[in-house]
Amino acid sequence: MTTSSESFHKVNFATPRSFATAFKSDLKETLFPDDPFQEFKNEPFSRKTKKAIQYFVPIFDWLPKYNLSLFKYDLLAGITIASLAIPQGISYAKLANIPPIIGLYSSFVPPLVYAIFGSSKHLAVGTVAACSLLIGSIIGEKVSPIDNPKLYLDLVFTATFITGLFQTALGFLRLGILVDFLSHSTITGFMGGTATIICLQQLKGMFGLKHFTTKTDVVSVLRTIFSHRNEKQKRARLFWVSAIAPMLVVATGCLFAYFAHAEKHGIQIVGDLKKGINPISLTNLNFDSKYISAALKAGIITAMVALAEGIAIGRSFAIMKNEQIDGNKEMIAFGFMNIVGSFTSCYLTTGPFSKTAINFNAGCKTAMANVVMAICMMLTLLFLAPLFSYTPLVGLSAIIMSAMLGLIEYEKAYHLFKTDKFDFCICMVAFFGVAFVSMDVGLMLSVGLAILRALLYVARPATCKLGSISNSTLYRDVEQYPEATGVPGILVLQLGSPLYFSNCTYIRERILRWVRDEQAATNSKGNDIEHVLLDLGGVTSIDITGVETLIEVFKSMEARGIKVGFVNPRLEVLEKLTVTKFIEIIGKEDVFLSIKDAVETCTFTLRSSKQFDDA
């Protein structure tokens, strides 16, 4: 009898090393699926160069096709997000304990850089509250922003430079996978915890406290508020304005503070904001070994958080328009704008949700909206900046609290609880870690728990017993499909993950347990297991320990008088099994194209053996 599996053996194992070329090609396509030069390698050099430039510098792709009909939408969107960027820039600079003017600088240069290198049409660039507080918290532990403001600000610029270098390196090395370790659950909990402590910290401005803790945890903040309750300014409560319209709050607050001489009555204001665009800060970068650890820590942590937020937001709004953005190009764009920003008196920027949502809803069509916003900010810096020096801090606190309350997503946390308890735990570790310990500790604990979960999945992969679905050639998990039935004398098992050193022992023990349980069940019915088939379709890769484990399973089954067959090994796995001579050990005849072929061959062998015994 000749089965289809026999023809499979002849085709696939006649020249096993012939797989190498195809294997390397497939591996390259897997690692670099969006190689910018792949589709035009045979084109003229000039065309290759043009496409390469358009790929790495997207503005050269969309700007030649730009027209007035698109600009009218981008103009409106740019002016709209600029009106939000002014109060947010001042407010978030306050969170980072840096001069408010730095927040305005950070909405001028970085958006121009992103417009050149960014791939998203809708992302609006700006500072974010979480990273602002992270920078203030981490660097504030090393240098006091009050006692040594010059050194503190220099370290903020240095941290921003490190952020840019790290983001750019991730983009060029195509290591965006690192950002994926900040899971959705981690981000939800981190943002919620951050929003909570930011809201609590704004009580300083709300109550007009002059002394406040530099720590960010809930306990320290509440202790400070109650211990300095005598400092609360009644006059400050006169200005309890809703921050629904941030620009309106700032404008009204400035007028109120100016005409009422608020600073004379104990109401704190922003203070001096000088005219002029960004001064060069390249020489301010500080790499002193005494302080570099704080800058490195702040730079790397905020780089990951900013990337996770910016890329996720960019992708979310791109999906709404049935478009795609390149994550690696986004990382390079974020990196460049932070590097250039650190040279021009800016601190960390990314794509915040609030600005991007407003930009999208305002009808932006291209990244030109960021250019319009940058021009508006330039005009503000040149002519209007001093007007905002009268902004009451209590107004900024209201703006921040209004923005932060929306980040505490109770419904999403409840959804996680109902959907996946482990995800909910990761979310809560981030939330309470940030709220009661510190932002970096809370984030690291949550990321560590998420990585632990991933390692558990790797170390304890899914394996299942397959049965035949009646009136079909399908074999499915018998637990999921109770109607699926096994074939007498044959045990079919499916391995659903890569075979690595970390899970080999578990998989070997799991297979032996399946065999023992099956033998115990079949012996009571008078049937014995003579064939074990391992479906390797889900085994995407294998290491040397995995190969040795399969050899051990083969020999263990052989000692029990059970034959082992392997079904549908993937190309990479097949290459490893061939190179390690595993195929020679087990024999080509025991490797099958499909479960159907394997079962047919085993059934035929069982029948032949039975006929021989009867004779």
Can you list the domains of the chain with their CATH numbers?
Answer: 4-18+460-614 (3.30.750.24), 66-455 (no CATH)
Per-residue pLDDT reduced to its tens digit, 143-180 = 999 899 999 999 999 999 999 999 999 999 888 777 76
pLDDT at 348 over 90: yes
Quote the pLDDT of residue 506: 92
pLDDT at 36 over 50: no
Mean pLDDT of 293-320: 88
Lowest mean pLDDT among 189-203, 336-350, 434-448, 542-556: 189-203
Per-residue pLDDT reduced to its tens digit, 504-531 = 999 999 999 999 888 887 665 556 788 9
Mean pLDDT of 316-323: 81
pLDDT at 223 over 80: no
Quote the pLDDT of residue 608: 66
Of 213 and 548, the one with more pLDDT: 548
Per-residue pLDDT reduced to its tens digit, 262-276 = 766 667 777 778 889
Per-residue pLDDT reduced to its tens digit, 372-420 = 999 999 999 999 888 888 777 777 777 667 766 766 778 888 888 998 8
Q: How does DSSP assign 323-347, residue by residue?
A: ----HHHHHHHHHHHHHHHHHTT--
pLDDT at 13 over 70: no
Identify which of 189-198, 267-276, 577-586 has the greatest average pLDDT.
577-586
Quote the pLDDT of residue 29: 47
Strand 563-567 to strand 591-592: parallel, antiparallel, or no bridges (unpaired)? parallel
pLDDT at 184 over 90: no
User: Mean pLDDT for the chain?
Assistant: 81
Mean pLDDT of 243-263: 68
Mean pLDDT of 317-326: 82
pLDDT at 110 over 90: yes
Quote the pLDDT of residue 253: 76
Q: What is the DSSP letter of 182?
A: S
Quote the pLDDT of residue 7: 40
Per-residue pLDDT reduced to its tens digit, 48-99 = 788 888 888 999 989 999 999 999 999 998 988 888 888 888 888 988 999 9
Residues in a beta bridge with 494: 464, 535
CB-count exposure of residue 290 (10 Å: 0-12, 13-18, 19+): exposed
pLDDT at 423 over 80: yes
Quote the pLDDT of residue 434: 81
Contacts of 24 by beta carbon, 8 Å cutoff, 6+ apart: none
Q: What is the enclosing helix (H) or strand (E) of 28?
A: helix 19-31
Mean pLDDT of 24-28: 46
Lowest mean pLDDT among 97-101, 226-230, 428-432: 226-230
pTM over 0.85: no
Confidence band (pLDDT; 50, 70, 90) for 209?
A: low
Quote the pLDDT of residue 414: 87
Mean pLDDT of 432-436: 85
Mean pLDDT of 244-260: 70
Quote the pLDDT of residue 4: 42
Listed residue (217, 221, 220) closest to 433, CA to CA: 217
Quote the pLDDT of residue 492: 92
Mean pLDDT of 573-601: 89
pLDDT at 28 over 50: no
Q: How does DSSP assign 96-123, residue by residue?
A: TTS-HHHHHHTTTHHHHHHHHH---SS-
Mean pLDDT of 33-58: 69
Quote the pLDDT of residue 23: 42
Quote the pLDDT of residue 338: 97
Q: What is the DSSP letter of 366?
A: S
**Tokens found for residue 430:** 């981030």
- The percent of residues above 90 in pLDDT, for the chain, comes to 33
Quote the pLDDT of residue 195: 75
Say whether 367 sits in a helix, a strand or coil.
coil
Identify which of 104-113, 518-527, 576-585 has the greatest average pLDDT.
104-113
pLDDT at 455 over 60: yes
